[in-house]
């Protein structure tokens, strides 16, 4: 088998010029950090950071039966959003395992799904499966659409000089609008994966450097931020990551994502399993935790409660904001109460901590 | 972060650890190459004072946000002191890997073992070989 060389985004030359440490992520050569993941993390919390997330996938669904397709393929109630609104949702297997978590946006004439880079192909296959026999047009747009995430309390200050109209600055959380950004046609959505206010900007693939440069050269100081900071930011928020907290072996209820499942309808693919989990709660539940002494938890490590094996760490890092080890874990449901004392086996050293409510770090007051 | 350099007064281990001999004692640390590969260091797990370190065996851990790296003893020794400054501010390993970022001071128990280590020129050549591999 020959090795497939990783793909690069249109911003790759910018990352190299900025001295990024590059690494493979889902087959993409992406910036892991620009020298200091901790500094990038704190810049997003304190001012504003800019991420290249062009590796993420975009799928469009249009046509008379678009909503019917999405009501089958996605767990959340897609009828609840109208043009200009987005919604966090999940795609499940028929058996109720998670294929991906994603955001679906309703635009004027179509829906737009933004999916994880690692799941582009499986999400597209699932949408194509649903398109059969329905009056819809579907399109895989991942290779045509670049995506930037501008995140942090100063996002509006950085974006304002570039925006063609005031619309992007007035967006409510999870709203989306079309506008010109640095003379580039773009979709701007008030979404993100950091817990900070900010926007995600989608634009034609080859034009992303124009927006990147305009943001970097503006009078508001914007810090380029890599995937390591993105991961520590989302872990502080307790946001699940596909491949760590989410996968085909578990359903949304164990992950605490009942709110993303259309409770009234439960007519989507995989709903049977969700209904079962609601009636008979799963034996393990996703929790966040923080350490009360030095140490850094890592995925795969055991969680103990009162000397009994209680679960497994799925994500772990050092929180730059809290300056202590934090993480997420699936823990026996009867032991998953906040403030429960836990011990994590960190390569033979037992580190004391406690189960904590999510988010571990308070959202910025300027977040909706 | 410091600029890439490898002082001439040190001896080097193939796992990218250095030793500075000081009479019958020695100081251990990791090289510029090692800290660069690890990235921003956020945690140092030192050995206990009095612990016996064996050459080529791990004696502690350095962690970045994303990875854990074992640290290898370049020579045999008994830990006299550990650098508490690095425990408190692990990024010293990045900013000053051969100075304030030292990791342990040991009493050498088998100084003859030092002869197995590389000098600066040999280590730089060794790094160049890794780059070509």
**Which residues from B are below 8 Å from A298, CB to CB?**
68
**Does residue A295 belong to any structural domain of this protein?**
yes
**Does residue A366 belong to any structural domain of this protein?**
no
pLDDT tens digit at each of 133 positions of chain B:
788 999 999 999 999 999 999 999 999 999 999 999 999 999 999 999 999 999 999 999 999 988 899 999 999 999 999 999 999 999 999 999 999 999 999 999 999 999 999 999 999 999 999 977 6
Mean pLDDT, rounded, for A4-32: 95
Q: Is the pLDDT of residue A55 over 90?
A: yes
Whole-angstrom CA distances from A28 to A3, A34, A150, A151, A264 are 13, 17, 20, 22, 39
Q: Is the pLDDT of residue A3 over 60?
A: no
How does pLDDT run across A153-203, given as a tens digit for each residue? 999 999 999 999 999 999 999 999 999 999 999 999 999 999 999 999 999
Which candidate in B3, B65, B91 is best for mutational testing of the A interface (most A CBs within 10 A)?
B65
Mean pLDDT, rounded, for A203-218: 98
Chain B residue closest to A349 (CA)?
B45
pLDDT of residue A239: 98
Judge if A46 and A118 occupy the same domain: no
Element at A187 (helix H, strand E):
strand A184-189
DSSP annotation of A140 reads E
User: Closest approach of chain A CAs to the CA of B64, in angstroms?
Assistant: 9
- A vs B, Cβ pairs < 8 A, gives 40
**Does residue A311 belong to any structural domain of this protein?**
yes
Asked which of A140, A172, A202 is the last residue of a domain, the reply is A140
Q: What is the domain-level CATH number for residue A214?
A: 3.30.1360.120
Chain A residue closest to B42 (CA)?
A318
**Does residue A190 belong to any structural domain of this protein?**
yes
Judge if A88 and A41 occupy the same domain: no
**Does residue A257 belong to any structural domain of this protein?**
no
How does pLDDT run across A224-241, given as a tens digit for each residue? 999 999 999 999 999 999
Judge if A27 and A111 occupy the same domain: no
Judge if A163 and A231 occupy the same domain: yes
Cβ atoms of A247 and A175 within 8 Å: the answer is: no
Judge if A46 and A79 occupy the same domain: no
Token look-up 């010109």 returns A180
State the residue range of the domain holding A152: 12-52+143-235
Judge if A26 and A147 occupy the same domain: yes
Cβ atoms of A216 and A36 within 8 Å: the answer is: no
pLDDT of residue A362: 87
**Does residue A250 belong to any structural domain of this protein?**
no
Q: Is the pLDDT of residue A152 over 50?
A: yes
Mean pLDDT, rounded, for A255-281: 92
Residues 268-327 of A with CB under 8 A from B: 294-296, 298, 317-318, 320
> Is residue A265 very low, low, confident or very high in pLDDT (cuts 50, 70, 90)?
confident
User: Closest approach of chain A CAs to the CA of B88, in angstroms?
Assistant: 10
**Which residues from B are below 8 Å from A295, CB to CB?**
43, 45
pLDDT of residue A7: 96
Q: Do A232 and B42 touch (CB under 8 A)?
A: no
How does pLDDT run across A309-362, given as a tens digit for each residue? 999 999 999 999 999 999 999 999 999 999 999 999 999 999 999 999 999 998
Judge if A303 and A163 occupy the same domain: no
Q: What is the domain-level CATH number for residue A125?
A: 3.30.70.1400
List chain B domain ranges: 11-113
**Which residues from B are below 8 Å from A33, CB to CB?**
39-40
pLDDT of residue B132: 72
**Does residue A187 belong to any structural domain of this protein?**
yes
Judge if A92 and A117 occupy the same domain: yes
Share of chain A above pLDDT 90, in %: 95
User: Closest approach of chain B CAs to the CA of A323, in angstroms?
Assistant: 9
Measure the CA dihedral A98/A101/A107/A110, to 10°: -30
Chain B residue closest to A227 (CA)?
B66
Q: Do A36 and B40 touch (CB under 8 A)?
A: yes
**Does residue A269 belong to any structural domain of this protein?**
no
**Which residues from B are below 8 Å from A35, CB to CB?**
1, 40
Mean pLDDT, rounded, for A14-31: 96
Judge if A119 and A17 occupy the same domain: no
Chain B residue closest to A37 (CA)?
B40
Q: Is the pLDDT of residue A44 over 60?
A: yes
Question: What is the distance between the alpha carbons of residues A190 and A86, in angstroms, rounded to a whole number?
Answer: 9
Question: CA angle at residue B102 from B99 to B105, to 5 degrees?
Answer: 125
Q: Do B40 and A35 touch (CB under 8 A)?
A: yes
Given A32, A298, A320, which is nearest B68 (Cβ)? A298
Backbone angles phi, psi at A201, to 5 degrees: -115, 120
Q: What is the domain-level CATH number for residue A347?
A: 2.40.30.110
What's the fold here for domain B11-113? OB fold (Dihydrolipoamide Acetyltransferase, E2P) (2.40.50)
Judge if A32 and A67 occupy the same domain: no
Given A33, A298, A347, which is nearest B39 (Cβ)? A33
pLDDT of residue A368: 45
The number of distinct structural domains making up chain A is 3
Judge if A26 and A89 occupy the same domain: no
Asked which of A94, A125, A140 is the last residue of a domain, the reply is A140
**Which residues from B are below 8 Å from A22, CB to CB?**
none
pLDDT of residue B133: 60
């Amino acid at each position: 088998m020959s090795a497939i060389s990783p793909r690069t985004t249109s911003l790759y030359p910018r990352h190299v010029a900025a001295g990024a440490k590059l690494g493979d992520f889902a087959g993409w050569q992406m910036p892991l950090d620009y020298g200091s993941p901790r500094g990038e993390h704190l810049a997003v919390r304190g001012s504003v950071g800019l991420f290249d997330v062009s590796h993420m996938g975009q799928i469009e669904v249009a046509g008379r039966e678009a909503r019917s397709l999405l009501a089958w393929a996605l767990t959340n109630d897609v009828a609840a959003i109208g043009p200009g609104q987005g919604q966090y949702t999940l795609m499940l297997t028929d058996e109720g395992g998670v294929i991906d978590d994603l955001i679906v946006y309703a635009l004027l004439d179509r829906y737009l799904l933004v999916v994880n880079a690692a799941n582009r192909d499986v999400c597209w296959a699932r949408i194509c499966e649903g398109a059969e026999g329905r009056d819809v047009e579907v399109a895989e747009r991942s290779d045509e659409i670049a995506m930037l995430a501008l995140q942090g309390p100063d996002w509006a200050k950085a974006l304002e000089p570039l925006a063609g109209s005031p619309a992007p600055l007035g967006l409510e959380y999870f709203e989306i609008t079309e506008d010109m950004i640095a003379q580039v046609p773009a979709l701007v959505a008030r979404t993100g994966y950091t817990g900070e206010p900010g926007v995600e900007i989608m634009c034609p693939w080859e034009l992303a450097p124009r927006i990147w440069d305009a943001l970097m050269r503006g009078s508001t100081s914007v810090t380029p931020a890599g995937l390591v900071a993105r991961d520590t930011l989302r872990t502080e928020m307790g946001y699940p990551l596909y491949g760590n907290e989410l996968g085909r072996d578990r359903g949304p209820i164990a992950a605490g994502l009942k709110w993303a499942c259309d409770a009234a309808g439960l007519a989507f693919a995989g709903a049977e399993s969700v209904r079962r989990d609601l009636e008979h709660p799963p034996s393990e539940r996703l929790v966040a935790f923080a350490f009360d002494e030095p140490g850094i938890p890592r995925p795969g490590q055991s969680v103990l409660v009162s000397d009994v094996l209680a679960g497994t760490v799925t994500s772990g890092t050092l929180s730059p904001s809290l300056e202590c080890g934090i993480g997420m874990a699936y823990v026996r449901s009867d032991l998953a109460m906040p403030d429960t004392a836990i011990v994590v086996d960190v390569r033979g050293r037992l580190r004391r901590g406690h189960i904590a409510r999510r988010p571990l770090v308070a959202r910025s007051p300027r977040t909706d | 972060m410091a600029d890439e350099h490898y002082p001439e007064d040190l001896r080097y281990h193939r796992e990218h650890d250095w030793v500075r001999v000081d009479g019958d004692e020695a100081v251990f640390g990791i090289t510029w190459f090692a800290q660069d590969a690890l990235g921003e260091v956020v945690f140092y797990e030192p050995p206990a004072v009095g612990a016996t370190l064996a050459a080529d065996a791990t004696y502690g851990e350095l962690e970045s946000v994303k990875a854990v790296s074992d640290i290898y003893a370049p020579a045999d020794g008994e830990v006299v002191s550990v650098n508490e400054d690095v425990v408190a501010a692990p990024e010293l390993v990045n900013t000053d890997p051969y100075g304030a970022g030292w990791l342990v001071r040991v009493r050498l128990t088998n100084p003859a073992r030092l002869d197995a280590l590389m000098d600066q020129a040999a280590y730089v050549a060794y790094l160049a070989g890794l780059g070509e591999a």
